[in-house]
Amino acid sequence: MADSLLVPSPFEGLRLPSDLDGSHGHNRAVGKVAQIAAANDLQAIQAWLARFAFPRPVQTPK
């Protein structure tokens, strides 16, 4: 194990089978009004990052 090298890779390349990707999870708003436009867990993470980790600059009125 000490000889193996772990190389990080972008999570956008992660591909999971539909029974493991969260698309059928309890927190998915199927047939209801969704709080975010996310069909699976990867899209939910991307939506969270877009909103909180990389917020857009607030423009001040002039």
Tally: H helices and E strands in the chain: 1, 0
The whole-number pLDDT of residue 3 equals 60
The answer, yes or no, to whether residue 1 has pLDDT greater than 60, is: no
Task: Judge if pTM exceeds 0.75.
Answer: no
The whole-number pLDDT of residue 37 equals 82
Burial of 62 (0-12, 13-18, 19+ CB in 10 A): exposed
- Integer Cα distance of 38 and 14 in angstroms: 16
- Domain ranges in the chain are 11-53
pLDDT tens track for 3-59:
667 888 888 888 889 889 988 888 777 677 878 888 899 999 888 888 888 766 766
Cβ–Cβ < 8 Å for 22, 28: yes
Cβ–Cβ < 8 Å for 21, 40: yes
Cβ–Cβ < 8 Å for 44, 38: yes
